[in-house]
Amino acid sequence: MKETLTVPPEHHGIPLDRFLGLRFPNVPRAQLRSLLRRGAVRVDGIVRNGGRTLRRFALVEIEGGEEEWRERPEPGPTFAVLKELPS
């Protein structure tokens, strides 16, 4: 899977890893860091690490397998038993 993103002006100057976390909030950070370590993320065609700050309108290209972009399921509602009534 390949994803190409354009950095919007409001994200100018933020680190690449933070930008990815904002763009993919349901993907575990460990998976995003793994992509960065493997060189699967390019900014304007150049492999970059997570600490690199971004310019507005930069092109961020991400390549990775399906398993790396598996999003965490949204947590469902949790219920607690407050009081049990006698039957």
| CA Rg value for the chain | 18
Q: Which long-range contacts (CB under 8 A, 24 or more apart) does 73-76 make?
A: 74/26
This prediction has a pTM of 0.72
The H or E element that residue 16 is part of is: helix 16-23
Contacts of 8 (CB under 8 A, 6+ apart): 56
pLDDT tens digits, one per residue of 22-80: 998 888 888 888 889 999 999 999 999 888 899 999 999 998 765 555 555 566 667 67
Strand order, beta sheet including 41-43: 2-6, 59-63, 41-43, 46-47
Q: Is the pLDDT of residue 8 over 80?
A: yes
